[in-house]
Amino acid sequence: MLIDSHVNLHAPQFDEDRQAVIDRARAAGVKLMVNISDKVSHFDKVRAVADAPDIWCTVGTHPHEAKENPDLTAGDLIRLADDPRVVGIGETGLDFHYDLSPRDVQAKVFRAHVAAARETGLPLVVHTREADAAMGDILEEEYASGAFRLLMHCYTSGAELAARVTALGAWFSVSSIATFRAAEEVRAVIADMPAERIIVETDCPYLAPVPHRGRRNEPAYVGHVLEKLAQIRGWSTQEAEQRTEDAFFALFDRIPRP
């Protein structure tokens, strides 16, 4: 089963042909997709895409957008997560590359998401960029206060953070970046990820994989990510598909397994 664990199908890049994009994914064998919330104020749009039986969604606010609602609470997220189509909390985290929200606001909003994940039992979908030390510190501090499940989405950070979050039982999502020619360091980290906790994603419409680089990304392309993961890990494509499927349902356990 092909599963795209991270799509942004509510994004304006799909406004002209959203249904055609979804149809192409299904034709390519993609059986499930998780539409990821970029900010709580967009949740209605995010949720609308998840009306289809093979599309689910999350609720949360990306660190770029944390400034929009710096007083976001765990309770706000928990109320929205009561919707049965919501299967995760996020995407949330820290992004010190662009710093589009103040770092203290990013951290505060991130901790609210952690609390919501802990309370609901839903997995936390984590974005981290150029914030390895701070991310590791926050996750370890929060985990010490009470366990929660977490997914390091589109993981491109270093081996040290990977080891820290692996100790917390984290899952990792491999994206199209693994197919990029210059991504040797990313592939080296992927080679050491815990085999039973790896899933795949496109992060569409961003980061189209080779051979589609430079174009809008689509969930139909997730098979290219799976093939690259198989190559990196020395698995057959069938084994990679089975392993990532098992890992996906172990993490997103609100989704019934067919």
Average pLDDT for 154-171: 97
Q: What's the mean pLDDT in 103-130? A: 98
Query: Cβ distance 173 to 201 under 8 Å?
Result: yes
Residue 41 to residue 39: CA distance in whole angstroms: 5
- Tell me the two tokens of residue 103: 């770092």
The average pLDDT across 87-100 equals 97
| pLDDT digits 0-9 by tens, 9-31 | 999 999 999 999 999 999 999 99
* 248-to-30, 102, 211, 215 alpha-carbon distances in Å: 13, 33, 25, 27
Structural domains for the chain: 2-251 (3.20.20.140)
Record the tokens describing residue 80, joined without a space: 């929205």
- How far is residue 57's CA from residue 257's CA, in Å, rounded to a whole number? 16
Cα–Cα distance for residue pair 40/231, rounded to 1 Å: 37
Pairing, β 86-95 against β 55-59: parallel
Report, as an integer, the average pLDDT of 173-193.
97
**C-beta atoms surrounding 237 within 10 Å:** 13
User: In the prediction, which pLDDT does 223 show?
Assistant: 98
pLDDT one-digit tens code per residue, 189-210: 999 999 999 999 999 999 999 9
pTM (predicted TM-score)? 0.97
Q: What is the pLDDT of residue 26?
A: 98
Percent of the chain with pLDDT over 70: 100
In three-state secondary structure terms, 5 is: strand
What mean pLDDT, rounded, does the chain reach? 97
The pLDDT assigned to 29 comes to 98
Confidence band (pLDDT; 50, 70, 90) for 258? confident
Phi and psi torsions of 210, nearest 5°: -60, 130
